[in-house]
Structure 1
Amino acid sequence: MDAWEAAVTGRAPGVVRVGLAVPLSGPLAMTAPSALGLATLAAGELTEAGGVRGRAVELVTVDAGRRPAEVGADVAALQAAGALDVVVGFSTSDVSHAVARVLAGRTPYVFTPPHEGGRVTRGALRIGSSPLAQHAAALAWLVRHRRARRWVLLGTDYVWPQAVHRAARAVLRDLGADVVGELLVPFGPADPGPALDLVRRSGADAVLLSLVGRDLVTFNRAFGRAGLGRRVVRLSGALEENGLYAIGGDDTGELYACMPSFAAAAAAAADATDEGQLALQERLAAHAGPDAPVVCAYARGVHDGIRAAAGLLDDRTATRPRPPRVRLARADGLVFREVGPPA
């Protein structure tokens, strides 16, 4: 249901309304089809299983890819109209902060992706990983197994990358590795030249990427064209399947990701296959057809978040979800293969 339609009609009897705050525009918009697909799958499965205390689950979409104030205003209007029982979604952290401030603990908020850590806002539940939990084991594995000792930290200039860089500095220091450069850039189309020059000048043998969405894709494409891909390790805490497809895959053997889930091809990598991930992809295909979008880490988080939200609203199933198992995977063509131990 559209947000304004929900605001006008208000709360519907016999229905649980879930505000689905996901990026339909902006840098993370490439993940929208996956997120919408798995959100409708989760809502449909919950409804078929009896719903929440007998009430069907209905989704109300809010575009979380806009400016924080705009997203917050939409959520505030929905809350004032009594149109929402809970809000679930992912976005950049500046947007999530705006949503949490507006809800102010009066409506539950389940934030699903990796987050910046720190104090949790009243009424909010974060089911993703903190920067340290997500990156520590991956950094350690790369330092020990790929001899990645000179690091450049490159990210977008907002809350989550800043927190990732703080955590990475501490981890790398303890591992005896060096941070030889750091750059935070604004959102949006930008010349990747200065970042590439920093990697070259610094003599880095590894780059930690906390760019997100479209900006991450743009940089990785430029990185490959510059001929750096085979000699400089890249690690990202935001690269997922849609992003890997968008850069055209990778066959350098030096592009790594530490997101909570990866889809591996069963026939090609039976030992690395995540059976739960593949089962989820099969259920999505049965729900949405053979052209269903790929199950990516962001979308899987939304699926889990809607189920967690149902638990919050239904005391019979109210349990705190376990944090996702963070893994290190190498991009191999258009799939990820797990290579490191679980964090």
Structure 2
Amino acid sequence: MHRPPPRLRVPEWVGADDSVVTVALVYPMQGPAGIFGPTCEACARLAAEEVNKAGGVLGRELRLLEVDGGGEPRKVARDVEALVATGAVQGVTGWHISSVRQALAPRIAHRVPYVYTALYEGGEQTEGVFMTSETPAWQLLPAMRLLAEARGVRRWFVVGNDYVWPRRTARAARRYARACRGRVCGEAYLPLGAEDVRDVLRRIERTDADAVLMLLVGSDAVRFNRAFAASGLDQRCLRLSTLMDENMLLASGPEATGDLFSTAGFFASLANQDTLDFHGQYAARFGIEAPAPGSLGESCYEGVLLLAALVEQARTLDVCAIGAAADAVSYEGPRGLLRLTDRHVRQRIYLAEADGLDFTVLAQLRAPHELW
């Protein structure tokens, strides 16, 4: 018997107190991305508490209202739109896949500020949407260039989930491979939550690929890592992922992470002062048993900080005024002092190699304009 999805439950305090600014925190509580949902929630909570210790937003307390962003995109968009339309929330942030962002942005971005924290395919131009994370030109292109130079990679096979982020990123990867004197020799796309990857592995085996670009989400990437190593392909092809954090390494297991590389704006193993301070605050708040605050969860920390900074700079919750003042916004967090350019945060990007259950950062990548 088919049961309708559960309705969004809104706490009684939401919308009842003018001294509170309520922000919808949209992050995955189910599905493949649910594996890093707990760290998304913890990192966002930590940021909200720090904002409130510093005086809140416009002198008001910042509170987070959790929304499951791991459901069907249109349902997630309807739930969040209802919160915005009723005045229950005055802003939106969080990590969720691009399909959710595409369904959500047209419904709410003209009403409240929307800070999107997931790495994505690039090109988002909706007014009122602000991005904290990586895009292919700044993340993937420099990583492919470095691996071509250092490891001689020329032939890439792309494995992704079947939705907008992997598809559009793969399109960019074809251009990047050619620019690096290589090519993409095959592509395969799997539904979110697909269990069987044997056909994809056979396709890789039949090609002359020397590297696999993984554009898989959460537990789908974990499942692929295990099967890839079990097949012995890890002895022939390195792997590069733009979406891989320490929680996914832990779930994959050390035997499945050999010759696996990741590129991101944050790694837990970075030893700079900003990262060390963040780890100290996170451990003091949640304890040593808390989920690892990898780049995906940490992005939600960035999202809360940026949303607060946007409102403070504009001195209003009006989304048009916030957009007009956005280029003057800066804030400081685990990724350092960051500024907005064309509603995107520009930041340092790193290439790291999996070392068992952790990442060793190998290099800070050159920005796109420095490559050629």
Query: TM above 0.5, one fold?
Result: yes
1:165-201 C-alpha deviation (Å, 9 max, x unpaired): 1111101101111211111121113311111111110
Matching residue within 90, 111, 119 for 1:106: 111
Paired residue total: 335
Separation in 2 of the partners of 1:119 and 1:87? Answer: 16
The residue that corresponds to 1:267 in the other structure is: none
Query: Offset of 1:277 from its aligned partner?
Result: 2.3
1:135-158 C-alpha deviation (Å, 9 max, x unpaired): 011101111111111110111111
Instruction: State yes or no: 1:327 paired with 2:332.
Output: no
Correspondence 1:40-119 to 2 at 5 A: 40-119=45-124
Are the counterparts in 2 of residues 72 and 99 from structure 1 also a CA contact under 8 Å? yes
The residue that corresponds to 1:312 in the other structure is: 310
Separation in 2 of the partners of 1:9 and 1:273? Answer: 39
Query: Offset of 1:104 from its aligned partner?
Result: 3.8
Matching residue within 133, 154, 160 for 2:165: 160
Separation in 1 of the partners of 2:257 and 2:300? Answer: 31
Q: Aligned with 2:38: secondary structure?
A: helix
Q: What is the root-mean-square deviation in Å for CA atoms of aligned residues?
A: 1.9
Correspondence 1:264-283 to 2 at 5 A: 264=269, 273-283=271-281
Q: Once structures 1 and 2 are overlaid, which stretch shifts more, 303-312 or 253-262?
A: 253-262
Query: Offset of 1:290 from its aligned partner?
Result: 2.7
Gaps of 5+ in 1: 265-271
Separation in 2 of the partners of 1:110 and 1:210? Answer: 22
Aligned residue type for 2:112? T
Separation in 1 of the partners of 2:122 and 2:27? Answer: 20
Query: Offset of 1:11 from its aligned partner?
Result: 4.7
Matching residue within 204, 210, 214 for 2:215: 210
The residue that corresponds to 1:292 in the other structure is: 290
Query: Offset of 1:253 from its aligned partner?
Result: 4.6
Q: Aligned with 2:234: secondary structure?
A: coil
1:295-316 C-alpha deviation (Å, 9 max, x unpaired): 1111111101101101122227
Gaps of 5+ in 2: 1-6, 316-325, 331-338, 340-344, 367-372
Query: Offset of 1:254 from its aligned partner?
Result: 1.2
1:307-338 C-alpha deviation (Å, 9 max, x unpaired): 11011222278615342321110001111111
Q: Aligned with 1:50: secondary structure?
A: coil
Query: Offset of 1:105 from its aligned partner?
Result: 1.2
Q: Once structures 1 and 2 are overlaid, which stretch shifts more, 278-287 or 90-99?
A: 278-287
Separation in 1 of the partners of 2:273 and 2:235? Answer: 31
Query: Offset of 1:220 from its aligned partner?
Result: 0.5
TM-score normalised per structure 1? 0.93
Matching residue within 232, 235, 240 for 1:230: 235
Q: Aligned with 1:33: secondary structure?
A: helix
Query: Offset of 1:3 from its aligned partner?
Result: 5.4
Are the counterparts in 2 of residues 262 and 274 from structure 1 also a CA contact under 8 Å? no
Separation in 2 of the partners of 1:25 and 1:253? Answer: 28
The residue that corresponds to 2:323 in the other structure is: none
Aligned residue type for 2:49? G
Q: Aligned with 1:292: secondary structure?
A: coil
Aligned residue type for 1:142? L
Aligned residue type for 1:313? V
Instruction: State yes or no: 1:140 paired with 2:163.
Output: no
Query: Offset of 1:249 from its aligned partner?
Result: 2.9
Separation in 2 of the partners of 1:8 and 1:59? Answer: 11
1:251-303 C-alpha deviation (Å, 9 max, x unpaired): 86510001221122xxxxxxx62442232122111112232221111111110
Instruction: State yes or no: 1:196 paired with 2:201.
Output: yes
In 2 relative to 1, CA 256–5 (structure 1 residues): closer, same or farther, beyond 3 Å? same
Separation in 1 of the partners of 2:282 and 2:25? Answer: 18
1:1-31 C-alpha deviation (Å, 9 max, x unpaired): x952248842522111111001111111011
1:74-98 C-alpha deviation (Å, 9 max, x unpaired): 1011112201111001111000111
Q: Runs ≥4 in structure 1, deviation > 6 angstroms?
A: none
TM-score normalised per structure 2? 0.86
Separation in 2 of the partners of 1:261 and 1:125? Answer: 19
Instruction: State yes or no: 1:249 paired with 2:236.
Output: no
Q: State the identity as a percent.
A: 38
The residue that corresponds to 2:43 in the other structure is: 38
Separation in 1 of the partners of 2:255 and 2:168? Answer: 27
Are the counterparts in 2 of residues 239 and 257 from structure 1 also a CA contact under 8 Å? yes
Separation in 1 of the partners of 2:277 and 2:90? Answer: 29
Are the counterparts in 2 of residues 240 and 259 from structure 1 also a CA contact under 8 Å? no
